[in-house]
Structure 1
Amino acid sequence: MSEAKSANQNSGRWIYSVASKVTRNIPGLTLTIIICTLAAQISLLAASYLPLKAIILIGSPSIPSYFPEYFKAFEQRELFVGLCLAAIAFYLLYLASESITKKLTVLGSEKLVSNSSKLIVFDGQDDVARKAYLRLTRSLAAVVFLALTIAALGFIYLELSVAVISFWLLMGVVARAITALKKGHSSSTSEATYELVNSMGSFGFLAAFSYLAYDLLSDTPPSLLPAIIGVLLTRQIMQRATLLIQDVILLKEQRLQISALFFSGHKLIGETKSKATRFWNIFTKTQIDNWVPALVNSIAQKPYTEHCVNWHQSGVHDVFALEVNSKNSLGATDTYLIKIFNTTRSTLAINEATLLSEPHILNLCTIPFIHATIMDGFHCHIFRPEHLNKVPAIEFGTHQLELTKRLMRSIPSPSLVQKYTRSRPLLWDRLNDSALANLGEALEISKHQEAFRAFMRDIENTRYLLRTLPLHICNSQVGKDQIFISSTGALTASYWGNWSLEPIGASLHISKKLEPSLPALLLDLQAQRDDTQAVTAQHLYLSALCFQLDQLLVRQNYISAAEILPQISNLTSALNRPVLEVAICNV
């Protein structure tokens, strides 16, 4: 437990505690992996170096004088073939070592997790454990490899090794200084850190090569062979040091999960809180008093003198909302609803802003949307509602159905339809052969085989009928905290993160009461939309059933899906019958 706790104090101590834990639990396996990793790295280095020597050899009239003396005991052609065969052998050794390392890493991570004697801590823990163990053993091997390589470089070319060590020491001091200066500020992203480390490695090799070039042009240049070997070793040092730093960074990013997996006394607590700390910090009383007045005043462009802020339950995880009542100098009060989306909800924020920013949508039941912006890296939406009266929870089902029907009056603009169809499948696209094939496989061992075959015979006609229906904006996932009702009974929605375009009739709840209510709904739609004049109640019912089928396929409720297939087949046949009769009359 003390080892795990040390992780919270110092990253270096945490890395050391994890390495100690691993080497104590499975010392033989860890040592074998380190040896195999070293063998792979050295073999790859030799496989890269030997072809160069072979090319230099075959391009020379004789064996170069700077080659080792024992090489001169061989014929030039024999030596060339020997170097080529050695390069191939080292490359095969590299492949074999890599394969052994992968297999032993899986075995080692499984032993570590089983030794902790825990239940499943989180989803995907085996993959996290395997990658963590791989990075840890690779880091240990990199440390050994760097020590051996720097020692070899020092033996061959002392001045160059001093230059390489000096470079990394200087980079370490610079990184420490930058970290100290940025303390308390938002840290850079992992991607930016990796790019910076890669740039450091490349710059280090360039600096080392510049020193080598300067030394070769000096009055006392080094021998050619040590210079060539020095370049190769320097490149390997820069690459391995870069990978080592990146592996350590990745291990630190998953320290909570790794500690929970490998330390028997450590539990996975506080992970969600640590990830959301920056998001939560926006909603402290001090922060709210600072940014809310500034944001409202900048958006409204009014000199408000007082702001009363209350928490608003958005009903969506990681989407926080505030009710703001702003009073001006004349005593008049304006109400605002501010929603902030955590980074995990950025897609929902973009979806909502895309819809509500579209200027030519008719009959959309939404509270007035006035602005979208980015605040401290989080999406922020500002609304100007006339009221904030949520529907009573006990009446939610009734009002949700009513809102669903009213949304069928909404007419999406051509530009919105174009954007949507270019990026997402519509209902008839989602009922494709691939999705239905899984349903067919499941129903092969059920009593619904014949119903499925009948449905598939008419599937193209069903898709055609769905394509002929006008589209509307659907908000099927709206919850009880997101529907407002006025004193006159008008319904509006405050959340549109999961909106979609669907044929009218889709998202209607299938029940015994639905079919008798469709004629009245159709009359209302035909009064509001000119493009519904050719639509019948059967079209609405077919659309509702197909939407229900799609939802059931997503949830893999195949038996429930099979039970509505006969209704879809019958409606498709009935709606196609008038077309067939007209075609026969025209013959």
Structure 2
Amino acid sequence: MELFASAGQGISWINRVVAAFFRVRPATTAAVVVFSVLSKITHLLAFFIPLKVLLLMGTPGVPRYFRFFIEPEDRLAWAIGLSIGAVVCYALSLALDAAVKRLTEAGSMEVLQGANELAVASKQRKEAQTYYARFSEVYAGTLFAVAGLAVMALVTTTAFLVLLVLLLAQLLMTALVLRHADPVEPGAFARFIQKGLSNYLTLLASINFLTCFFVLLVPLLLGHEANILFLILSVLVLRQSLSNASSAIRDGVDLIKQRRTIDPLVFRDEKAEKAEAVERKALRELFHKQARESMARERLGQSLGKTVEVEARWVDSTIKGANTFTLILPQSEDDGKKRYFQQQVFPYKKLHFLEHEEYLFEQVSRRALWAPEVYSRYEVGQFSVQICDYGLGRPLTADEWSERFSTILGKFWSIAPEPSLVSAFETSRPTLPDRLTEEFVQRVGVAVDTQAEMQDFELLVSRLEQLREKLRAVPQHFHNPDLNRNNVAPDREGNLLVMAWGRWSIEPFGAGAQKELNKKTATEVLSAVREHRKDLTDEIGPDDVMRVADCAKFEKQVNAGMYKAALRIGRKVGESLADDLAR
């Protein structure tokens, strides 16, 4: 079965890595593994011995299961000695853990130096230390689990045999589930094993522990004599063995998944190779040409109410967070021309973009913001998909964008967001004036080198509140950072479609404006917008809009750590405020 083959390959690789550790630092690696096992044993004894003391002192006389080595007159001395032993065991476990940590650091550096002739970065040193410790812990955990099961086999043979049967049954069940699982869309149980391995192992360990616990309890329930001390020891050993076995499996699987990263750190002849991201691999498997065309035919057919033929072409996406395909219907029954749709595929981690867009269009009509009509929305594996109208199936050309830029900008500045929507938005995200706090502006102070720069910086800080009031006076609009010619398409009637709205925000005119915005364009757009916006007073002019644009650029440069560039923009903003005061 695939599980056994994969497990065999994984175990073989782990052994190969650990063999490399032993080859470079045999004594250190052996000490790390042995000390780790001893730490687990002393830790177990540190909790087992106090139970012995309680049983010894909590029973009149000497319990029968202690009589073969404790005389009644020595009862108190044994209790004191065992109590001291518990403390010693706990101290030993701490000392062994500290020794393992020191040895791990030394051993990992030797392994790393053996694999790399060039100087290595501190990040690699940390990674090597972590991997060295984890491989050693896998071995130590496995050895402890095997030793614990051997103790169980000697002390409580029945419980050991029951546990062995359970482990074999669970292994076969897991192998069968994974073998018959669809590799692209596995069932719920298979997905639970693959994605929640830690929880799955914890569940199995809990089932095994409780089952064996009841097996150990049966003789007592039936009134048979049993050695309570051995039963307690068996329960503790069982619990710790199962826990260490689960941890070893979980860590081993996790290390195997990181093989491409680990091999170059351990083996001189291995070169670093970045593995394909899980998300990208899933996209490739779920949306190969036949699969995406089959899905598009089904979904569009349902929406259009007829059988359709669809060609689905990959398009390098310009929509942040999404992958895109252009869907082409060969001929329309209406005019005989091709019809175009855009299939937008959002991975789970970017689903918030799609949800953000959905929320916007619950408040505002799609037509008002030139958003395309959505024909279908559905889930495929870990992806959310929507199919939208794509007009003529192409973005605007550079000339078309330049020609229609003022019209596009005027369209969105003309739409006033509802006060309730503005209020809801601002509760979760501050707008530009509120983001330009004194703490934020102070970040650029580190880049001040000259007296002139100091004067410009102090002027900006001193007039910051005045600046924020100026920004708040500029009307707000629906800002779309994805509004660029690659995401705007002409439709069949000569209108425009803005294909992406997942990152919309509410900002004053000019915030995040495209490079095409200048004072002349701002004058033209404001003139066209005034008849649509009552909140656009005569006092608001192109200088105010360009100041907003400069403040947005200032924010962007600060966030990018480009403080000198931010200082130059800050000087320009400060001068514009001085000009306002001089008027």
With over 3 angstroms needed to count, the CA separation of the structure-2 counterparts of 1:288 and 1:418, relative to structure 1, is same
Amino acid at match of 2:253: I
| Structure 1 residues 156-555: aligned runs within 5 Å | 156-182=155-181, 184-187=183-186, 188=191, 190-218=194-222, 220-269=224-273, 271-272=275-276, 276-300=280-304, 302-316=305-319, 319-325=323-329, 327=331, 334-356=339-361, 358-360=363-365, 363-393=368-398, 403-404=408-409, 406-414=411-419, 416-443=421-448, 448-485=453-490, 491-508=496-513, 514-533=518-537, 535-555=540-560
- Offset of 1:383 from its aligned partner? 0.9
Q: Is the 8 A contact 1:205 1:235 kept in 2?
A: yes
Amino acid at match of 1:254: Q
The answer to whether structure 1 residue 558 and structure 2 residue 563 are counterparts is yes
Residues in 1 aligned to 2:261 and 2:108: alpha-carbon distance in whole angstroms: 13
- Offset of 1:482 from its aligned partner? 1.7
Q: Which residue of 1 aligns with 2:573?
A: 568
Amino acid at match of 1:193: L
Residues in 1 aligned to 2:22 and 2:431: alpha-carbon distance in whole angstroms: 55
Structure 1 gaps of 5+ residues are: 1-5, 579-587
Residues in 1 aligned to 2:228 and 2:470: alpha-carbon distance in whole angstroms: 79
Residues in 2 aligned to 1:510 and 1:180: alpha-carbon distance in whole angstroms: 55
Q: Which residue of 2 aligns with 1:26?
A: 25
- Determine helix, strand or coil for the equivalent of 1:335: strand
Amino acid at match of 1:155: L
Amino acid at match of 2:498: A
Q: Which residue of 2 aligns with 1:147?
A: 146
Q: Deviations over 1:468-523 (max 9, x none)?
A: 43322222344553232469985543233433322222123579x82344332322
Greater Cα shift, 317-326 or 172-181: 317-326
Q: Deviations over 1:331-360 (max 9, x none)?
A: 755432211224454344434444355434
Residues in 2 aligned to 1:121 and 1:405: alpha-carbon distance in whole angstroms: 55
User: Aligned-residue CA RMSD in angstroms?
Assistant: 3.6
- Offset of 1:450 from its aligned partner? 2.5
Q: Is the 8 A contact 2:317 2:323 kept in 1?
A: yes
The answer to whether structure 1 residue 67 and structure 2 residue 66 are counterparts is yes
Give the TM-score taking structure 2 as reference length. Answer: 0.86
Amino acid at match of 1:506: A
Residues in 1 aligned to 2:451 and 2:381: alpha-carbon distance in whole angstroms: 55
- Offset of 1:145 from its aligned partner? 0.7
- Determine helix, strand or coil for the equivalent of 1:324: strand
Residues in 2 aligned to 1:571 and 1:362: alpha-carbon distance in whole angstroms: 38
Structure 2 gaps of 5+ residues are: none
Residues in 1 aligned to 2:455 and 2:543: alpha-carbon distance in whole angstroms: 23
Greater Cα shift, 248-257 or 353-362: 353-362
Q: How many residues align?
A: 571
Residues in 1 aligned to 2:120 and 2:357: alpha-carbon distance in whole angstroms: 34
Residues in 2 aligned to 1:116 and 1:27: alpha-carbon distance in whole angstroms: 16
With over 3 angstroms needed to count, the CA separation of the structure-2 counterparts of 1:437 and 1:93, relative to structure 1, is farther
With over 3 angstroms needed to count, the CA separation of the structure-2 counterparts of 1:24 and 1:429, relative to structure 1, is farther
- Determine helix, strand or coil for the equivalent of 1:304: coil
Q: Is the 8 A contact 2:261 2:273 kept in 1?
A: no
Q: Is the 8 A contact 1:353 1:372 kept in 2?
A: no
Q: Deviations over 1:385-407 (max 9, x none)?
A: 33233223577677668745643
Q: Is the 8 A contact 2:264 2:270 kept in 1?
A: yes
With over 3 angstroms needed to count, the CA separation of the structure-2 counterparts of 1:42 and 1:412, relative to structure 1, is farther
Q: Deviations over 1:59-92 (max 9, x none)?
A: 3344434237555487655544444443333333
Q: Is the 8 A contact 2:293 2:311 kept in 1?
A: no
Residues in 1 aligned to 2:460 and 2:45: alpha-carbon distance in whole angstroms: 64
With over 3 angstroms needed to count, the CA separation of the structure-2 counterparts of 1:131 and 1:74, relative to structure 1, is farther
Identity of aligned residues (%): 20
Q: Which residue of 2 aligns with 1:584?
A: none
- Offset of 1:39 from its aligned partner? 2.6
Greater Cα shift, 478-487 or 254-263: 478-487
Q: Deviations over 1:4-58 (max 9, x none)?
A: xx98993333333333333333333322221232132122212222232333334
- Determine helix, strand or coil for the equivalent of 1:531: coil
Q: Is the 8 A contact 1:40 1:94 kept in 2?
A: yes
- Determine helix, strand or coil for the equivalent of 1:463: helix
With over 3 angstroms needed to count, the CA separation of the structure-2 counterparts of 1:518 and 1:270, relative to structure 1, is closer
Residues in 2 aligned to 1:451 and 1:367: alpha-carbon distance in whole angstroms: 46
Q: Is the 8 A contact 2:395 2:485 kept in 1?
A: yes
Residues in 1 aligned to 2:376 and 2:121: alpha-carbon distance in whole angstroms: 39
- Offset of 1:364 from its aligned partner? 1.9
